[in-house]
Structure 1
Amino acid sequence: MTTPKPPGVYITEQSSGVRMIVGVGTSTPAFLGYTKVPDGGTGGTATPPFTAEERTHPQLIRGWQEFTDRYSIEALRQRLAALRKKQEAGQDPTPVERKEIRVLERCFPLAEAVYGFFANGGQSCYVVGFTDPTTAVSAAQLGGSTETRTGLGGLETVPEVTMVAVPSLWDMTAAASDAPAPPPLDPAQGKPLMDAAVAHCVAMRNRLAILDAPPGQPVEPLKAFVDGLTSPDTEDAAFTTLYYPWLEVPGVDGIPRTVPPSGHIAGIWARTDAERGVFKAPANQNIRGALAIPTLLTDDQHGELNNKGVNCLRVFPDRGLLVWGARTRSTSRDWKYLNVRRLVSFLADSIRQSSTWAVFEPNDDRLWATLRHSTTSFLTDQWRQGALLGRTPDEAFYVICDTTNNTPTTIDDGKVICDIGIAPVRPAEFVHFTLTQTAGETGKGS
């Protein structure tokens, strides 16, 4: 017997059955670089530092202070300051001390990148450490292992990562030296490491590699280096961005240094995503936390590098330091601009993750209609935000999921096919004005 109820108003909640597609995050980078557990253990901070083993796994960091505590930055700073104090007093360091100084310095590109990320608007990032800064890192070691969650392989278990940067890449090309003058850098040694980072991004499809040009490279040698990278007409080039030159920063430990720009760039990508959207090119943006750019480019030099897919950092009067490029290394019309590549990755990942409910559903007209509706609603929202080109949604995209592409054969194979086409907006990279001088006309008296 039904339990009697007193008179009143009763509400029953019922699912509408409407399936929605939710946009995935686009602003979480992963930084890979040298980190070192200081001699004497990991104590000394309110937040316990990571152990050596923990540092080799992807670790989520939500702020600069958390990174400082977790990666023992203050302990490393104090040790480096003590060694440099002897130099400032006129005492030549022993070979052992000289090597230790260089080993400690190799830990700071990662720290500077994380600081630059948060300074430029980033909210959270992942860090994957290599805990022996005395040694070089091979492409296989950088690739790591999915099973042990090390290196790039460890990032395969972190789907929210959408950018990959290796701030320590150029230090990783050689072991630390105790020689009075370190050996000269060989740019060719960095190419296998770059290729490993790019290959990871191509395999994952939802992230781009932010690569740093070799340090201290003049324009002409840099052009030759870029020509020796993966061909720009390959798929790898579409997932590759390269920035030049490096940045002069005040130093997280108070020691000014020149650092790779990838951390600052990742922050600018995150800032642009938050302020405008992933469809907006992350360029013509101020670089926060940088003092100067050591290499000043002419317009002609910049034009040559831009054609090679190198995004340049420039100084403009009264505007400061700006990112002045938004290209991948691809020469393909579809993938030349990095915001287009990121937008397509964002749309694909959002649709994929929000459509897993359809797996094992009855493969019939109701399923196709639901997929069409959810995808059309999502893309319409993107069009309204300015991500897609067209005066109407019909001009901006199409979604086909019906009997035209779901045939009896595909149904028997257990497949549902939904064809989507989009018209992404592209940046106004070259703005041309035409000025015409006209002769003035004298006014006619009445």
Structure 2
Amino acid sequence: MAMKTPGVYIVEKNAFPNSVVEVATAVPAFIGYTERADNGGKPLANKPWRISSMAEYHQYFGFGPTPKLSIVATTVDKASFQAEDKYYALQQQDGSVGGRFLLYYGMLHFFQNGGGPCYVVSVGGYDGEVEADKLIAGIEPLVKEQEPTMVVIPDAVLLAKKNCILVQQEMLQHCGGRMRSRIAILDVWAGFRDRKDPAGDPVNDFRNDLGINNLDFAAAYYPWVNTTVLQDKDVDYTAIVNGDTLIGLLMAELALPADYAESLPERTKQQWKTVQAIKMSDDEWRAQITADIDQSEKTDEQKAKLREERALRQAVETHKALLNKNLVVSSPLFKTLMGEAVNLLNLLPPSMAMAGVYTMVDNTRGVWKAPANVSLNGVVSPAVTISHEDQEDLNVTTQGKSINAIRSFIGEGVLVWGARTLDGNSLDWRYINVRRTMIMLEESCRLAAKAMVFEPNVANTWVTIKSMIANFLTGIWKRGGLAGAVPDDAFSVHVGLGETMTPEDILEGILRVTVLVAISRPAEFIEITFQQQLQKS
């Protein structure tokens, strides 16, 4: 300040350094297929869009796909039900028009398990097949987003095995090779199979095909889980694609004639009408309802209002629900069939539920707590039962590709029983919480240090940066994020000429800061030793 006029001048000086703000750690990005993708008429296709609830998801991306299942004849060992001394199973039409898409159901499971703010990238609608190229293209827009810390693509497991691996390798490249600020949560392809399944060991196939690049930025979970995301009311007879087969089985079960006859007893007549009603299309339903309205005692104005498309659609759905209810009551076979349909649709890969678990653990304990020994909400059982011995090869292998188990324990429910990255042999990055804590520390300090870019590379700047980072790490240590009885044992910050920099570095405009941290690691193995001693009294 230039002083030219006599008087009193006030000079303010900053007494404290800038602070480091801890970045968010639990913001997953989900990529997949949605019913629609628009914001008030503006398209959201292939655009990361932040939401924080299922209500917002419904607003921007619509609802779930219409299930499409086929009844197919099969052998007794693969049968879901038996009819007329023949064995049948339900088969899901993956990726077909209106077929299976997992993002919507996974979103429900994510929020059930403690999920919060997240990003959704819609790569297409329900009118086509799941394609690897589209899913991979959905990863690219995330490069411009700073906030996401996890990447999840549940629809990848609907692809052929080689294409699923291709998508997962792109996820690893994005997280570890390019961004280095987020991790990928992977599902094992065909993870609903037992490892001794004749079709092959899904875990070995996953390990053999995935490769070895960027494994410390990913975690995988096995097996898939049987959930309660869909309820019985969410699936009805319209989910069965081959309706003629369904009608034939129901008519045989109820001993109904092929042709309607007025001479039938009243109860049998109603059963016949119920089964035959399955054949009616939505247009036929509307015509029938419209005729009923015309015959009712209402004014012309009321009739016109009731004929509106929305009212007719609601009426159609009501009639379908009543028909489905009648079928459940009158046909044990149909009830069994719908139960199998719900179970089949509720079989989901666990990655999106795990994203919810990560969020819940981060919010309640901190990112430094391993996301394990936590129960999964909305899960009935794992698709494959894993014993203590079975998990040995999952957790510790010579190749180091650790896969975290999801296991069921008596009296405790379904628990996440593993906390390792895919780089299981690395002493640095073996544990998920270590990798994610380091990402949080690095990103927090990096963003805070941007304020020092182009500042003079002198001692005052070095002291400011050192105190700024040290204050931040002290706060993390107090909350239990770093190991050590005192701060000096938990971390140290080094910066300065002769310590981290040479005179040549300063001439080159380089300011080097070295931060050493002792991150807490989980007690994965607890050993309690018992030994007998001599009697003392």
Superposition TM-score tier, normalisation by shorter sequence:
0.7 to 0.9
Note if contact 2:188-2:203 (Cα within 8 Å) is conserved in structure 1: no
Cα distance in 2 for residues equivalent to 1:100 and 1:438:
64
One-letter code of the match for 1:166?
A: I
Note if contact 1:50-1:71 (Cα within 8 Å) is conserved in structure 2: no
Aligned with residue 163 of structure 1, among 150, 153, 158: 150
- Structure 1 residues 118-133: aligned runs within 5 Å: 118-133=111-126
Q: 1:293 to 1:435 in 2, by over 3 A?
A: same
Aligned with residue 428 of structure 1, among 508, 520, 523: 523
Q: 1:52 to 1:226 in 2, by over 3 A?
A: farther
Aligned with residue 359 of structure 1, among 449, 453, 478: 453
Note if 1:208 corresponds to 2:183: yes
Note if 1:301 corresponds to 2:385: no
Q: Deviations over 1:252-304 (max 9, x none)?
A: 46344201111110010011111111111000001012222121011111111
Q: Deviations over 1:384-437 (max 9, x none)?
A: 112212222222111111112222211111111101111111100011111123
Q: 1:34 to 1:319 in 2, by over 3 A?
A: same
Note if contact 2:151-2:182 (Cα within 8 Å) is conserved in structure 1: yes
Q: 1:332 to 1:363 in 2, by over 3 A?
A: same
One-letter code of the match for 1:300?
A: E
Q: Secondary structure at the residue paired with 1:431?
A: coil
- 1:102 Cα deviation (Å)? 4.2
Aligned with residue 219 of structure 1, among 195, 199, 214: 195
Q: Secondary structure at the residue paired with 2:447?
A: helix
- 1:348 Cα deviation (Å)? 0.2
Cα distance in 2 for residues equivalent to 1:299 and 1:366:
57
- Structure 1 residues 20-419: aligned runs within 5 Å: 20-37=19-36, 53-73=43-63, 76=64, 79-80=66-67, 102-107=96-101, 109-133=102-126, 134-138=128-132, 140-144=133-137, 151-171=138-158, 173=159, 186-202=160-176, 203-215=178-190, 216-220=192-196, 221-232=201-212, 234=213, 236-252=214-230, 254=234, 255-256=342-343, 257-307=346-396, 308-330=401-423, 331-404=425-498, 405-419=500-514
Q: Deviations over 1:93-150 (max 9, x none)?
A: xxxxx9699443423x101221122111121111111215523423x54332xxxxxx
Q: 1:21 to 1:411 in 2, by over 3 A?
A: same
Note if contact 1:198-1:240 (Cα within 8 Å) is conserved in structure 2: yes
Cα distance in 1 for residues equivalent to 2:40 and 2:215:
35
Cα distance in 2 for residues equivalent to 1:339 and 1:99:
38
Cα distance in 1 for residues equivalent to 2:530 and 2:428:
32
The alignment's C-alpha RMSD in Å is 2.7
Note if contact 2:376-2:416 (Cα within 8 Å) is conserved in structure 1: yes
Cα distance in 2 for residues equivalent to 1:332 and 1:86:
48
> Kindly, what percent of the aligned residue pairs are identical?
31
TM-score by length of 1: 0.80
Comparing 296-305 with 244-253, greater Cα deviation is found at 244-253
Structure 2 counterpart of 1:181: none
Cα distance in 1 for residues equivalent to 2:433 and 2:94:
42
Note if contact 1:34-1:106 (Cα within 8 Å) is conserved in structure 2: no
Note if contact 1:219-1:301 (Cα within 8 Å) is conserved in structure 2: no
Higher helix proportion (structure 1 or 2): 2
Note if contact 1:112-1:263 (Cα within 8 Å) is conserved in structure 2: no
Cα distance in 1 for residues equivalent to 2:523 and 2:93:
49
Structure 2 counterpart of 1:183: none
One-letter code of the match for 1:211?
A: L
Could you tell me which runs of 5 or more consecutive residues in structure 2 were left unpaired when the two chains were aligned. 1-9, 73-82, 84-91, 235-341
Note if contact 1:23-1:350 (Cα within 8 Å) is conserved in structure 2: yes
Q: How many residues align?
A: 386
Cα distance in 2 for residues equivalent to 1:192 and 1:241:
16
Q: Secondary structure at the residue paired with 2:155?
A: coil
Could you tell me which runs of 5 or more consecutive residues in structure 1 were left unpaired when the two chains were aligned. 1-10, 43-47, 91-97, 145-150, 174-185
Cα distance in 2 for residues equivalent to 1:99 and 1:105:
5
Q: Which has the larger radius of gyration?
A: 2
TM-score by length of 2: 0.67
Q: Secondary structure at the residue paired with 1:329?
A: coil
Cα distance in 2 for residues equivalent to 1:103 and 1:305:
36
Q: Secondary structure at the residue paired with 1:291?
A: strand
Q: 1:118 to 1:223 in 2, by over 3 A?
A: closer
Q: 1:101 to 1:356 in 2, by over 3 A?
A: closer
Note if contact 2:229-2:378 (Cα within 8 Å) is conserved in structure 1: no
- 1:211 Cα deviation (Å)? 0.3
